[in-house]
Structure 1
């Protein structure tokens, strides 16, 4: 019996400023729609989450790929991971440079190497070996990223003390289940502005039901480190959740050709897709 395909995406949990709010909503809607069109046509959850995250990496509204923030040296270092529930395969890359779509490279690591993660110089050497497309750093750096980095340099303060941590950008991601019942997820990030060179963040969280897993993870974060965040979850049966404790998180999901999306706490809009 076929499973009902579902995809959920997010564009980062943080205090999204008003000038990025509409772009963020449009971006996650586009990513979710793209991913679901693959599922609706019989594609795999792995293909869907990769495509959705690529959309977000190509959108400068998000801290991934073309919209990534700058590290302490004013450079771009990117991280990404992709996981295939069908065979429990994983591919990850960290601290890579000059690659616009790290999620594609993470999948390449998963499928073309015996390793789970490649990082830094070694990862980029592998990219050169297989002739993976390179993108000049200048094409990945946005005007907003430069302005934000310059503020840190001007005041010479740490990333945690200069601004409220909710002002920091965040990871983008997607999770999906396809008609065959296989799940997959992918994330991509440029990290946080003025991060130490070589810094790698983020880790997967595995929980119970979607809502309970999401709420428990966020509650643990709040109690343990007084932090805020957000996450998306989909269960084997197609139940999904998008939860966050930050001021805003752009998210979108598609099931039964119904697009759900939101940005602010308690907000949920719906649109019928014509696919």
Structure 2
């Protein structure tokens, strides 16, 4: 069967001056992840490679370019999951690791736990030799300037989806030639979020889920809303009931909007190679590679093709 790799750069009201860079960023990440598949890598290798590329791109709110919390600190969250075994690893509130997705994979492969948080996650990173960086190295001039303008915490972030706030979580899903699926999600959270806040991204079944029996999902959008409806697992549940990946995403995002007034997006891939990229926000940068063809989009119902 053919391998497929899909990535997203976050579902939110991406401003015009960031639109092109966001599209180019997800296209580059999709190609990076698919290259791992072509080289014989697993779906797990592919989603890690794609998300690492996005974490290095300061356009996105993950790794470098992360949002700052209410006291001006970086707090990174990430998850990765292997659909073949249901093994998964996650980290939350990590301070000085450039690639939290790789740290999440290390939690999965080198510990008996699923999630490590804050100091414990950083201590684990040091114990296995993960290269750390000064926290300030993860903060862009743009983010620092915007944070200084918006120091007051906006309750709309908790009460619903305010599209003026950047929720550009990044993520990837893949299926390899053996039919194994995987997902990965990474984020810097919400600008001016409370200290200690953890969103949906590192929570299994919310920010991501992968199971060879049904498919792989990576979610983005208003984290509190995604947590309330366990969005990734909800999408998988619809697939298990016979819905296509596109219909499962559409129904689940509509339910989240109707039930808790939350907006967001999701990328999905099935073990047979079906895939979708859906969102209820103004925009979501996404890209997919299948059979050597690159697909991408930004606006609702947009799907462009590039050889």
**What's the TM-score, normalizing by structure 1?**
0.94
Determine whether 1:61 maps to 2:96: no
Q: How does 1:122-137 map to 2 (within 5 A)?
A: 122-137=120-135
Contact 1:92–1:107 (8 Å) recurs in 2: yes
Q: 2:84 aligns with which of 83, 86, 96?
A: 86
Matched, 1:160 2:156: yes
1:29 partnered with 2:27: yes
Aligned to 2:166: 169
Q: Matched residue of 1:92: which SS?
A: strand
Q: How far apart, in 1, do the equivalents of 2:97 and 2:248 lie?
A: 33
Backbone CA RMSD of aligned residues: 1.5
Displacement, 1:44?
0.5
User: 126-135 or 19-28, which moves further after superposition?
Assistant: 126-135
Is the 1:25–1:262 Cα contact (8 Å) retained in structure 2? yes
CA drift of 1:169 comes to 2.1
How many angstroms does 1:126 deviate by?
Answer: 1.1
2:64 aligns to what SS in structure 1? helix
1:108 corresponds in structure 2 to 106
Written as runs of structure 1 = structure 2, the 5 A alignment for 1:35-74 is 35-74=33-72
Decide which of 211, 226, 244 is 2:246's aligned counterpart.
211
More displaced 10-residue stretch of structure 1: 187-196 or 31-40: 31-40
SS at structure 1 position matched to 2:133:
coil
Query: Cα distance, 1:157 vs. partner?
Result: 4.2
- Give CA-to-partner distance per residue, 1:130-184, whole Å, 9 cap, x none: 221101111100112112211222xx34252799711222210000000000000
Structure 1 regions of 5+ residues with no counterpart?
none
| Deviation digits for residues 176-208 of structure 1 (CA, Å, limit 9, x no counterpart) | 000000000000000000001111111231321
Q: Secondary structure at the match of 1:166?
A: coil
Alpha-carbon distance in 1 for matches of 2:252, 2:145: 33
The alignment status of 1:262 with 2:262, answered yes or no, reads no
Give the count of matched residue pairs. Answer: 268
Distance 1:27 1:127 in 2: 27
TM normalised by structure 2 equals 0.85
* Structure 2 CA distance for aligned equivalents of residues 65 and 56 of structure 1: 8
Unaligned runs of 5+ in 2: 201-205, 209-231
8 A Cα contact 1:103 1:187, kept in partner: yes
Decide which of 172, 179, 183 is 1:185's aligned counterpart.
183
DSSP-derived class of the 1:144 partner? helix
More deviation, 3-12/199-208: 199-208
Q: Distance in 1 between matches of 2:43 and 2:179?
A: 9
What is the CA deviation profile of residues 198-255 of structure 1, one whole-angstrom value per residue up to 9, with x for unaligned ones? 1111123132131122111110111011121111000111000000011110000000
- 8 Å CA contact retained: 1:91, 1:108: yes
How far, CA to CA, are the matches of 2:189 and 2:59 in structure 1? 14
What is aligned with 1:141?
139
After TM superposition, the structure 1 stretch with the greater mean CA deviation from structure 2, 137-146 or 58-67, is 137-146
Could you tell me which residue of structure 2 aligns to residue 18 of structure 1?
A: 16
Closer, same or farther: CA 134–157 of 1 in aligned 2, 3 Å: closer
Cα pair 1:68 1:191 within 8 Å, conserved: yes
Q: Give the number of the structure with larger relative contact order, counting CA–CA contacts within 8 Å between residues 6 or more apart.
A: 1
